[in-house]
Amino acid sequence: MSNREDLPIFPLRTILFPDSKLPLRIFEPRYIDMVSRCMREDSEFGIILSRESTDPKMFETYDTGTLAKIIDWDQGEDGLLGITTIGTQKYRLKGLNKQEDGLNIGTIERIDREGDYKPTKEFTHLVELLQAILDDVNIYGDDEKNFESAAWISYRFAEILPLRIEDKQKCLEIDDPIIRLNFLEPLIKMIRESSQQ
């Protein structure tokens, strides 16, 4: 039995992580239609990182993205539709077709959410660092914070750190939260050391 499904795909030069919120401004007709349909049907769409290309006619994306659910919307003063999405789960893109209106429809396979493994003892300093950062920036309510979950912690670091977009994508592609924390740890150390100079 195939667990593949077809969903609208929104390629961006940004990355959505599971449980992250991403505000978007929508102005192209194909995406306004997509958003209307998703809101009407309470369905998701896929966000995926588009690759940089030197040839403007070439269009490529990475293979791993995150499904987005619309949790809020408003109309800006400029008349543009603003939506807030939340990442629900990762997916692998298996194929991409363009509709007549230009909307990309992807054939996807959902990737199971990672279990709520606790971060191991060697990552205690990272848990404390994230707690301090989130106390300062206040982007997550207390009911959303989950410092008991290595997956949640690793995604939050990948989301808020000033990493290269390729490193953020690598974090999304890693399917094990402990391996993701191991990948992030030297990057976090480097960022902290450069900020203290």
pLDDT reported for residue 195? 76
CATH architecture of 4-110: Roll (2.30)
Burial letters 178-196, b for 16+ CB under 10 A, else e? bebbebbbebbeeeeeeee
What lies within 8 Å, CB to CB, of 129 at 6+ separation is 188
pLDDT reported for residue 1? 44
CA neighbor of 178 nearest in space, from 120, 104, 132, 129: 120
pLDDT reported for residue 164? 93
CA 190 → CA 36, 159, 197, distances in Å?
Answer: 43, 16, 11
Torsion of CA 101, 107, 111, 112, to 10 degrees: 90
Cβ burial of 138 (10 Å; 0-12, 13-18, 19+) is: exposed
Q: Which DSSP symbol is given to 181?
A: H
Domain(s) of CATH 2.30.130.40: residues in the chain: 4-110
User: How far is residue 106's CA from residue 59's CA, in Å, rounded to a whole number?
Assistant: 14
- The model's pLDDT over 62-99, given as tens digits with 9 standing for 90+, comes to 999 999 999 999 988 888 899 999 999 999 999 999 99
pLDDT reported for residue 193? 86
Cβ burial of 53 (10 Å; 0-12, 13-18, 19+) is: exposed
User: How far is residue 137's CA from residue 22's CA, in Å, rounded to a whole number?
Assistant: 16
Q: What is the mean pLDDT of residues 168-184?
A: 96
pLDDT reported for residue 115? 83
Q: What confidence tier does 3 reach under pLDDT thresholds 50, 70, 90? A: confident
Q: What is the mean pLDDT of residues 110-116?
A: 90
- The model's pLDDT over 46-62, given as tens digits with 9 standing for 90+, comes to 999 998 766 666 678 99
Is pLDDT of 178 > 90? yes
pLDDT reported for residue 2? 59
- The model's pLDDT over 117-166, given as tens digits with 9 standing for 90+, comes to 899 899 999 999 999 999 888 788 888 999 999 999 999 999 999 999 99
CATH topology of domain 121-195: Methane Monooxygenase Hydroxylase; Chain G, domain 1 (1.20.58)
Domain(s) of CATH 1.20.58: residues in the chain: 121-195
**Total number of residues shown for the chain:** 197
User: How far is residue 183's CA from residue 38's CA, in Å, rounded to a whole number?
Assistant: 35
